[in-house]
Amino acid sequence: MQLEKKYYTVQDEETLKLLHQHIIDSDVIAVDTETTGLNPRKNKIIGWSVSGDEGVGFYLPTLVFDYKKDDLVLQEINGKSTEVISKNLLKLLIGKKLVFHNASFDIQFIKNYFGVDLLPSVYVDTGLLVHTVYEEGAFGFGTPFGLKSIAIMNQKELGLNVEEAANKEQVELKESIKSNGGSTTKALYEIYKADLDILSKYASADTDLTLRICNLYLKKLKEEGLEKFFFEDEVMPIYREVTVPMESYGVDLDMDLLNNIHDDILEDQKKNKEMVMKSLLDISDVKSWVMDTAFREFPPSHKGNWAQKLIERYSLPLPKSEKTGKYSITQKNVEALDDSVTKEFLLSGDIKLLDELEVARISMSMWKESNNGEYINIQSKKHLGEIVFKYMGIKPKVAGSNTKSGRAKFDMDMVKDLAKEYPWAENLRIYNKLLKIKSTYVDRFRDRNEDGRYYFYFKQNGTVSGRYGSDAQQLPKPLEEGDDAPVIMKYVNIVRAFLTAGKGRKVIDADYESLEPHCFASVTGDKKLQEIFANGLDFYSYVAIQTEELEGVSADKKAPNYLKKVDPNARNKAKAYSLGIAYGMEAYALKMTLGVDQKTAEGLVKGYLDGFPQLKEWRENSRLQVKAHGYIKNYVGRVRHLPKVQKTYIKFQDRMLDWRFRKELEVTYGKDAVLKAYRDYRNGLNNCLNFQLQSLAAAVVNRAALVINRKAKELGIDAVCQAQVHDQLIINVADKDAEMFAPIVQEIMENTTKLPGVTLKAPPEIADNWREGH
């Protein structure tokens, strides 16, 4: 049975009293804001809504669009500004159990616009609540953790036809905005131009829906025994005390350095592009491609654009059309010209009359003009693919690997492979990398900074494992000498220097050493793996020695026969399987990764599992658990639901992994359905392994950040966790407190989450920018 919906637009004394009483009477209350844009530091709140009971919603408009004035106008109730009224009412929410969907957005807007800080009162963020009990999100319903997506996924349990209502609301809202001259594009969505009654209903429906989803998923949370994990141990404390503060804090940029690097990288791009073009055009096969392409795209003709170019080249005295600006090539006009070979061609179209070199020049000049002034577009995979595969006769890196249109695949892997032999390909590889560095880092910070400050986003439900989905995670890892070309190293390693501590401040930069391998050694319980870290040995070298039974080499970094020194390739090979096999990588995948034969790959897998018997036992036990229960839980309590594994195992057991059995199933279920079921089963068996390690590593970092912020408050220190980048925490601190607080940060990071069998290490560095400390 559906509840009757009671949605109110607060515009008079009577509805204002109802709203006031509703807030007073409600313990748990959903809150949402409507704004002029997405920037909480620059845009305005046009109204806000609350819902303390399912089916009830109030929307209080603060700014309403005046169509005559073509501007937003402040609202009043009985002569009192609704912004002043809002401040007073919002203060009543402090101490309530507040529910938001994407709380960080609304919390920052409310604090910046109204000066009311509701962050300590945030009880539930519904996106995080859903993620905790159903970490895959609403796949198949749009944005995985979007409000409407979640509601549509649960519409039967909610007792609502959300999909139909959501579509109707969106259509109605957009039509209203458009009819009032507003924009509804993704880049500019002028929701404030909708009619007030429509906007109000839309806003109230969202808070009502947020409350319903909260109530539904709190039951699921309890059923799964995850209440403590969500409310006390990890999810909401980290969100309130780490995630939202990081998003709202931002980071100072060194704008002078940023602008100088922008100019430098443009110059280096130009140089490398010129070298690519010169090197390519010195190759006869490439010249043939340019000429053939020019003739194909602009074949000689006594009509059309080619003829126009010919006339222009020889400055023939033909009249031009006033309308089109083109030469008039009528027979009469051409016949009036002085006798010449060109005249004869324009009359007859006989290409043999023209000099071959002149014909080539015209077609090639037209091709060059059409291609942005270049004979080759070195960013075009089509151009380069034709040149490399068809004209130079080089075979594709992976045989039979084609694009959707059927062309041999030309990609960055191909460029990297060609760079070993061809200088132009190496310059192209560098050019492509410079383009990426410029767009991903330099341009982003230059274009999106706000008065010299940049604000990262941190999506706490951005990954299945609980690691942040964040643009801060995209910061490049520093390169060491020999890792890449010097010009690439220069720009990759300068990026973090853009991010500074700020005037009178420092950053404490602490990065866990080999965090995931530490988690791996602890969770598997393998004594040999744990000894690696207890004895300060190199993880990859030890794994290589143990797996391949290497003799005469050591995993001791100080030893003269340290594997990385005497046989770096063997150590690098171990990187491909040291965590991969633990995560479920089998021989075929390892064969493809390393480029070895099947027998060698099988030997590596066997050698690895035999070398670490307790790891092998952990792999088997984890898979047995997920087959039996349909989920796996990590060391600190986060759950990964894998119901398809349990379902498939109950029906077919491990026969699903046998290709002969799958062939039999195809007769009944069809090839595509069987392939999907097999992939889901195989991936699930692997996911139950890697989830335990990746999610534990995430928890170690997140929980340390929480304790660091709490300790700073306890000590009265002006310090805050400014960002998390993979396994690294960056704490921004007043200059005077940095030396004192750094060892406290280290102690917290190394001891907040104790992992059996291993000791975590996170040595801190005090620096003026993010590069110095990393």
- Output the domain CATH number for residue 617: 1.10.150.20
CATH number, residue 188: 3.30.420.10
Task: Examine the domain organization and report whether 210 and 308 are in the same domain.
Answer: no
Task: Examine the domain organization and report whether 195 and 281 are in the same domain.
Answer: no
Q: Among 679, 694, 709, where does a domain finish?
A: 694
Task: Examine the domain organization and report whether 226 and 280 are in the same domain.
Answer: no
Q: Which residues pair with 507 in a beta bridge?
A: 732, 767
Judge whether 445 lies within some domain. Answer: no
- Contact present, 758 and 530 (Cβ < 8 Å): yes
Task: Examine the domain organization and report whether 690 and 584 are in the same domain.
Answer: yes
Task: Examine the domain organization and report whether 207 and 316 are in the same domain.
Answer: no
Print the domain residue range for 230: 6-250
Task: Examine the domain organization and report whether 171 and 27 are in the same domain.
Answer: yes
Judge whether 481 lies within some domain. Answer: no
Task: Examine the domain organization and report whether 244 and 325 are in the same domain.
Answer: no
Task: Examine the domain organization and report whether 552 and 640 are in the same domain.
Answer: yes
Please give the Cα distance from 483 to 152 (Å, whole number).
48
Task: Examine the domain organization and report whether 300 and 189 are in the same domain.
Answer: no
Judge whether 680 lies within some domain. Answer: yes
Number of folded domains that form the chain: 3
pTM exceeds cut of 0.95: no
* Tokens, residue 96: 């309530």
- Contact present, 137 and 224 (Cβ < 8 Å): no
What pLDDT, on a 0 to 100 scale, did the predictor assign at position 406?
A: 59
Q: Among 208, 235, 250, where does a domain finish?
A: 250
What pLDDT, on a 0 to 100 scale, did the predictor assign at position 1?
A: 45
Task: Examine the domain organization and report whether 292 and 220 are in the same domain.
Answer: no
Task: Examine the domain organization and report whether 17 and 140 are in the same domain.
Answer: yes
Q: Among 672, 694, 716, where does a domain finish?
A: 694
Q: What is the mean pLDDT of each run of 10 residues along the chain (774 residues)?
A: 80 96 97 95 97 96 88 92 96 98 97 98 97 82 81 84 71 84 83 90 94 96 96 97 98 97 97 94 94 94 94 93 91 93 93 92 94 93 92 77 66 89 93 95 95 96 92 89 88 96 96 92 91 89 88 90 88 83 81 82 86 90 95 94 94 92 93 93 92 95 98 97 96 97 98 95 96 83
What pLDDT, on a 0 to 100 scale, did the predictor assign at position 127?
A: 96
Please give the Cα distance from 641 to 133 (Å, whole number).
8
- Contact present, 718 and 506 (Cβ < 8 Å): no
What pLDDT, on a 0 to 100 scale, did the predictor assign at position 141?
A: 64
Task: Examine the domain organization and report whether 103 and 216 are in the same domain.
Answer: yes
Please give the Cα distance from 243 to 103 (Å, whole number).
11
What pLDDT, on a 0 to 100 scale, did the predictor assign at position 317?
A: 93
Taking CB atoms within 8 Å and a gap of at least 24, the contacts of 730-733 are 730/507, 730/508, 730/509, 730/770, 730/773, 731/507, 731/508, 731/509, 731/510, 732/249, 732/251, 732/501, 732/502, 732/505, 732/506, 732/507, 733/505, 733/506, 733/507, 733/508
At 729 the three-state DSSP class reads strand
